[in-house]
Amino acid sequence: MKGVLSVAGCLIICLLRQCETAPSVANKNISPVILVPGDGGSQFEARLDKPSVQHIFCTYKTENWYSLWLNLELLGPYILDCFVDNMKLTYDPVTRTTKNQPGVEIRQPGFGNSSSVEWLDSSQLGATSYFYHIVESLVKDLGYKRNVTVRGAPYDFRKAPNEMADYLSALKNLVEDTYAKNNEQPVVLMGHSMGNLYILYLLNHQPQAWKDKYIRSFISIAGPYGGAVKTLRLMASGDNLGVFVVNPLTARQQQRTMPSTSWLLPYDSFWAEDEVLVHGPSANYTVRDYKKFFDDIKYPDGYSMRQDTEELIKNLEAPGVEVHCIHGVNVSTPAALSYSKSKSYEKQPDVITGDGDGTVNVRSLQGCQRWIGKQKEDVFYHQVVGAEHLAILNNAEVKAYIAKVLSS
């Protein structure tokens, strides 16, 4: 998740990493793979014809589509305001849906192909890898073909499934199309972060016969099944994406408008009612106090969006397919936030840390274990010590595990 959280936060690591090469091995009965990215893990293109702009130097109108996310050139000081104004959503309390700013069109290029989820940014500041290393390993070691046996399903990660019926139906069609084009081989759905929650939602809404026919397994990497404390920070005071966004309060204007951020708030099925998640300037907040929390941070729409999304996967109904659940542990992860009395939400909090993968708390990552014994298909569970939320996508142990699953 937390692309808007950790994709950019981890850029440097990814930029410095070299790709490894290995001999290719042909495999006749390949199980095709569909990659479902997390929060921040899809490219966005925008086209503008705006009635007004934030600053004189922000663009009103573009003839063509341009790269909006991830585009490091748009995250610098001053122009960050323009970016945020194009990226943020407006919530309509009557229809309970969100929409872009007036005159802003946004699309996600490359649906069905792997490229747009392999790389996020290709501006002159350097290309940022996402699923690239896993895809390279499938292609080089197992004989997979990009766009044919390994495909991608990018989407508008700002939103939660309640607003994404078209995407979910396109994803279902992509599964059927991939099955048909590959010798009727059942498909492996591989998610990262929030992508796993989308996969779960899709599977929860298909008949068992459909799953038996089309799905070989679900490989879940770093799934935030019970939410993550880090989202409370995005809501309250914004996140500066590591080093790239200069002003977290500017980023907050966009981050808090995403229904997906509300969807990923910690769940009361994972956190107890006496665990304080936010020590605020004037009150403490637990999972039971979101109404007051959103009132106090002066963003009541956030609570409405929570109500719209809270039930989508809350019961963690078993997916009804073979599961391989993989995640990192032993990385220091925000467990609670502390705003001292003198600090308002306009100041960044002290972060109290606990176990997890750096973004998602360990109890949430372990949510997939709740399916053990709840479905007839196997649930395999594999944790990787020290694998950070995003870096796990280029972790040798994880790539080897995936290769073993896919070639067995």
| Binding positions for ligand NAG, rule: CB under 6 A | 110-113, 115, 146-147, 276, 279, 283-284, 330, 385
- Identity at 1, one-letter amino acid code: M
Nearest distance, CB of residue 276 and ligand NAG, angstroms: 5
For ligand NAG, the closer of residues 325 and 331 by Cβ is: 331
Reduced to 3 states, what is the DSSP secondary structure of residue 387? coil
Give the tokens for residue 333.
């992860």
| Residue 199 neighbours by CB under 8 Å, 6+ apart | 36, 189, 191, 218, 220, 319
* 287 DSSP assignment: T
The DSSP bridge pattern shows strands 284-285 and 215-221 to be unpaired
Cis peptide before 70 (omega within 30 of 0): yes
- Of residues 49 and 350, the one with the C-beta less far from ligand NAG: 350
201 three-class SS: helix
Q: Compare residues 127 and 276 and give the one whose CB is closer to ligand NAG.
A: 276
For residue 278, the number of C-alpha atoms closer than 13 Å in the C-beta half-sphere is: 32
Helix (H, G, I), strand (E, B) or coil at 349: coil
| Shortest CB 332 distance to ligand NAG, Å | 8
Task: Point out the residues that are catalytic.
Answer: 193, 357, 389
* The two three-digit tokens of residue 164, written as one number: 């994404």
The per-residue b/e assignment along 279-314, b for 16 or more CB within 10 angstroms, e otherwise, is bbeeeebbbebbeebbebbebebbbbbbebbbebbe
Burial of 165 (0-12, 13-18, 19+ CB in 10 A): exposed
Closer of 109 and 300 to ligand NAG (Cβ): 109
State the DSSP code for 6: I
Q: Which is nearer to ligand NAG, 147 or 344 (CB)?
A: 147
Tell me the closest approach of the beta carbon of residue 112 to ligand NAG, in angstroms.
6
Minimum CB separation from ligand NAG for residue 170, in Å? Answer: 12
CB of 336 vs ligand NAG, minimal distance in Å: 9
- For residues 152 and 223, which CB has a smaller minimum distance to ligand NAG in the complex? 152
Contact 13, 131 (CB under 8 A): no
Nearest approach in angstroms of CB 355 to ligand NAG is 7
For residues 40 and 2, the answer to whether their CB atoms sit within 8 Å is yes
